[in-house]
Structure 1
């Protein structure tokens, strides 16, 4: 936050946000003063000194009544005078995310806030009493809950209930488990702030949630809004439907929402000792991206779980899945499921049940990622069949939406000449199975065949509606789990080039995690490879590689794995991670000059754990062999890692290459790119036919 020069006798600072990013008409202001003078504070010339209370270094108070737009906060003390310009934005936003997305389905009633407030008479938005609502605002509500001995939260009655649970706080006190909760609407999304009554430990957890969605929806609050462990230890819990990627995946909007929720918390309860992020999958991605884009303004530390570096670069290899699955499902060479890892890179099993065939045998593309292609790429298909759409006007407005990830972020990717959002996905020059060829797992003939027939995706203007299982009325006759009707196929099948404008725009947007993060990070996940879970374990190291590529340092990130074989997730390492983060942050407060890495406590090191949470190994060398050529460390040996189709094709583990640099086929052969294979004249001609513009030179 910006503030005036203290050498001039006064310093004025906004504690709740940046001065140019205030929202909702109020801000927590601190004035640090020269000794011996009484401070007076005004807002746009009107005295607001009564809102301030004395602190050790000056005065602090919440200034309300700020105009939308520019405001001036002025402090005077004796001969000293300082002013600070503050820009206030509406509570419904936006601050920097751009124009509001429409249509936008309201969920305030489902969230326990009552019907949304009418904000227009133009027939736009959700039909409500008195008109229509486009911004889905509802008044803030507060309530009291208690934790029952049956493990649930219940409304707090007038007297102490017989089934009241107790909890032991961080300071050792045991108290009744009574929670005060505030819910409302910020930036058009639902938010929740909860903390135990009379027991806040001064720390906050921001709970981020995962999932995949295309927006146009207010969303609902998740169960993590009432995190029993965090509340029970005295943490304040911050949460928003706008920071759940099951609501949308616009992390520019999500970051803005998180900043506004954090601002609200600080204005009501003060500046916490620190705020730590906790959340898995998309909730982990948000911590990396917001930590990069906003420094410590949202979170001071992070516990990303089951994370990826970001979402937008996952589309690169996930877009390959159904193309490869269609090819393999129609080729007897790939009838044995475990062979498929040679092409997709991810794990495959001959014994894991397949939800689409009802038989044994599947892979991560099927069990983990099936359905993501139509969800993110097909403008005609959506999984959002919420009945609230029936209340939306004008009639048929849902059908005007282009339901793709690219359109959800049209403001970032840009618009093509046909009016569709630009896309970063492409596979020109990608040699599927290259590593398997070099390792002699597949033959040259098999390598040529898959690359000739794998195909690519049609442009959005040419896509048609999906079949079964995505459109239920098409089942069972029109079975097309591969979305083959929307693939460009042939022999050789055409490849698709990514849009260079889209690539340039997204790389500048802040949606791509570049590795620029300087807060404490404990990256933790259960090891779920045997379950063919989509949260593949190598992604923790993809993130670390981006950090190393950024500035050569990744000492502020530690990676923890907990075994989940064979039964699945059991032991939760989050409480231990919170304890280590607490010690880490305490060290930083005591010795700020040592920086983040210099303040790591003893347990803030790379570690891996057994299914019961006991430590297998810890230290700087346990993951040797993952990002280097050293002998595998103890954790590396215990937890085999898989990859992706693009890594198998020769790409880097960091996974962020949208469009590879191309090289002529003859140059690739001369460089020995194909290992022991020396293509014949006919094979060279076939390679050039498949790759007329060249092959990837990663």
Structure 2
């Protein structure tokens, strides 16, 4: 479909998908063939030829040596698309092929002095999926204005778009221009409310500080900010073009510097764009069944530093972890978005992913599940992935409940509360008892498949850890309670939506045979909770035995059980093969800067940190878990840089975030410029700038500006030294990527002589009838990563294989 220029603004009647010129991996790029054997080559540039979406793809025609490609003719089936191709200033022959039908399309090219060749392009709909398998249903589309809940239909979210959603939640795209005003940005960054709020039916008030206002082409507002000079040395008005549309059932925003007086085509972009993409991922984790806009925390007005340097900024609600915990569908959305960027705006030099918490999970998951989509990531509040983070969430939830059971309370009767809490901390592996309580409060109910009554520890009573329960039931689907599965009435509600992450991603995991529940990876069979605490004398043998007797497990509904939880073997294999367990091998292929802030406790905080700034769940050891995995799988972690700080909590002090952007920009620019034929891993490490090295800022540093490179000095700071997890206290590795351990016999000789009485050991044998974890062995189902996988043929996935290339007729 032709691009139309209206009032100098780039317009598209519809928007495409995006994946891109993948600079780090031919796995997700159309790498073409060998000029010696292909008289004429056709290459898809915006994505692999078999993963194209939305009916268009940017292509290149490469003539054989000596050919001038005169009388070039390009067809799609019987349709002539030759006019779409042009020779660029660099001499390349590029063209946007549009109007692709669903499924296979044969694109053929010929020239007067070259033989004819063809390539088959497989096109999927803009609404998806491409390779993630069947989309979860039901799913409720956003509306131009919010609609109140009615019966089993939830309240709809406002789309911020004028159009009406189709059956697949597709809504017509819109573009607007905004100019930066002269107003100073508030402390929290500029905001720009959409016409409607995501969470209320009322229209919000305008922001007190209007950093951005809509721009009318040709006007010169009195409060327009000065022109900006990009990192490429191009000076342009500080005007941003914002495109909003839908992709893979998510709502996206794309923002980039734009001169309304000049044209823009994908083969001739405006000079204000530096060719770089800044992709933001939203935080938290969830699986609600409603279409919404991108999370407020990653909206484009907050990316002002990136925009004025010339970056294109992109976000999609289906890559926000709070809205989509299917990590393959999430990465697929990034692929489609990147393809759309290339088809619409032009070739991409490199892409940086960024996010905190759940946003860090999605940054790392892109590296692990579909290497090459992102060239580098800048993360904060970092976790490696959701499956292994769920180990600590599950363990903490079980332990918080166990500490309140009568058997444990009886053992601790009469002990000072400080002593009891020190025992809990030793079992948990955390600085104090509040880390596990925080996990229990924030995400302990996230695995609930249907209706449940929320249980939590009162934040004002972290000392005793007493649990209270809400009287009103709720669910994790954001649906009316009448519309979801009810564990208390399992037969009658078996066909209703299940609301945990594994059912949301049922296309990956599949179902448990004979059950509506999805297969899942949670497991605590054989785990000896508090083992290190026992061995170092922090808890008594009786406390150890009793704890492991009462801790129990849970079923697929997250209902507590006396027996330990057992993972589904097929799900374990899928998690490792697909890279859903963050793979050190794949993570080693990207440049990583980890802004490692502090959030290990809600009570024992750095003196400068207010209570409201501590959540207590972003434990520092997760960054070291990633380092352990990369080192183990790739030989070293030379591609991962840790910048540690604690006095400011999770927020990087001073200009550290900006320095991370500049350092990553330098790193990837060097990588792209250098090229080379070595492995991706070696090229990433060779391109690493000198200032990309580990350091910390000590908590006692009043100015929070002095970089300390002595790691032993960093570790001596009590707020900078990483702690551990309950699973590590139980003997597990710091990498924490063993979802289910292999078992070994329970042998009394494995413990110090005389530690248990005969009765106590007999009780342990009754708990661990199948044995205890053997941490010297790989986990059950743990195997080499094979990502990227495609799930088009069903759960479990199959290797994607090599990309299609052109062939001579």
TM bracket, shorter-chain basis:
0.7 to 0.9
Aligned counterparts of 1:371 and 1:302: Cα–Cα separation in 2 = 26
Counterpart residue number, 1:377: 448
1:130-145 superposed matches below 5 A: 133=167, 135-145=168-178
Alpha-carbon deviation of 1:391?
12
Aligned counterparts of 2:350 and 2:299: Cα–Cα separation in 1 = 18
Structure 1 alignment gaps of length 5 or more: 119-132, 349-361, 464-485, 624-632
Aligned counterparts of 1:26 and 1:172: Cα–Cα separation in 2 = 32
Match of 2:44 among 14, 30, 36: 14
Alpha-carbon deviation of 1:366?
2.0
Retained in 2: the 8 A contact 1:243–1:254? yes
Mean Cα deviation higher: 377-386 or 8-17: 377-386
- The answer as to 2:631 corresponding to 1:548 is yes
SS in 2 for 1:596: helix
Root-mean-square deviation (Å):
2.7
Aligned counterparts of 1:66 and 1:273: Cα–Cα separation in 2 = 26
Aligned counterparts of 1:13 and 1:101: Cα–Cα separation in 2 = 33
Match of 1:448 among 531, 538, 545: 545
Alpha-carbon deviation of 1:563?
2.6
Match of 2:714 among 632, 635, 645: 635
Aligned counterparts of 1:210 and 1:249: Cα–Cα separation in 2 = 11
Alpha-carbon deviation of 1:412?
2.3
SS in 1 for 2:169: coil
Alpha-carbon deviation of 1:108?
4.7
Match of 2:360 among 270, 273, 284: 284
Alpha-carbon deviation of 1:295?
2.0
Match of 2:760 among 678, 683, 686: 683
Change (3 A) 1:46 1:380: same
Aligned counterparts of 2:655 and 2:361: Cα–Cα separation in 1 = 19
Aligned counterparts of 1:290 and 1:387: Cα–Cα separation in 2 = 29
TM-score in terms of structure 2 length: 0.73
- The answer as to 2:37 corresponding to 1:37 is no
Aligned counterparts of 1:347 and 1:415: Cα–Cα separation in 2 = 39
TM-score in terms of structure 1 length: 0.84
Match of 1:86 among 121, 132, 136: 121
- Report 1 or 2 for greater relative contact order, CA contacts < 8 Å, sequence distance ≥ 6: 2
Mean Cα deviation higher: 279-288 or 501-510: 501-510
1:579-618 superposed matches below 5 A: 579-593=662-676, 595-610=683-698, 614-618=705-709
Change (3 A) 1:613 1:182: farther
Aligned residues: 622
1:295-694 superposed matches below 5 A: 295-296=371-372, 298-330=373-405, 331=409, 332=412, 335-336=417-418, 337-348=421-432, 363-381=434-452, 382-383=474-475, 400-416=496-512, 417-460=514-557, 486-488=559-561, 493-515=562-584, 516-517=586-587, 518-529=589-600, 530=605, 531=614, 533-565=616-648, 570-571=653-654, 573-593=656-676, 595-610=683-698, 614-618=705-709, 622-623=710-711, 633-638=712-717, 639-666=720-747, 669-671=748-750, 674-675=751-752, 678-694=755-771
Deviations 1:79-135, CA, capped at 9 Å, x for gaps: 3222111111111111111112111121252231135334xxxxxxxxxxxxxx3x1
Match of 2:251 among 171, 186, 190: 190
- The answer as to 2:93 corresponding to 1:59 is yes
Match of 1:181 among 242, 261, 270: 242
Q: Which has the higher strand share?
A: 1
Match of 1:245 among 299, 315, 321: 321
Retained in 1: the 8 A contact 2:178–2:239? yes
Alpha-carbon deviation of 1:660?
1.3
Aligned counterparts of 2:171 and 2:655: Cα–Cα separation in 1 = 36
Aligned counterparts of 1:244 and 1:293: Cα–Cα separation in 2 = 16
Aligned counterparts of 2:422 and 2:85: Cα–Cα separation in 1 = 67
Change (3 A) 1:676 1:308: farther
Retained in 1: the 8 A contact 2:527–2:730? yes
Aligned counterparts of 1:54 and 1:568: Cα–Cα separation in 2 = 47
Alpha-carbon deviation of 1:399?
8.8
Counterpart residue number, 2:15: none
Change (3 A) 1:213 1:592: same
SS in 2 for 1:313: helix
Aligned counterparts of 2:102 and 2:108: Cα–Cα separation in 1 = 18
SS in 2 for 1:144: strand
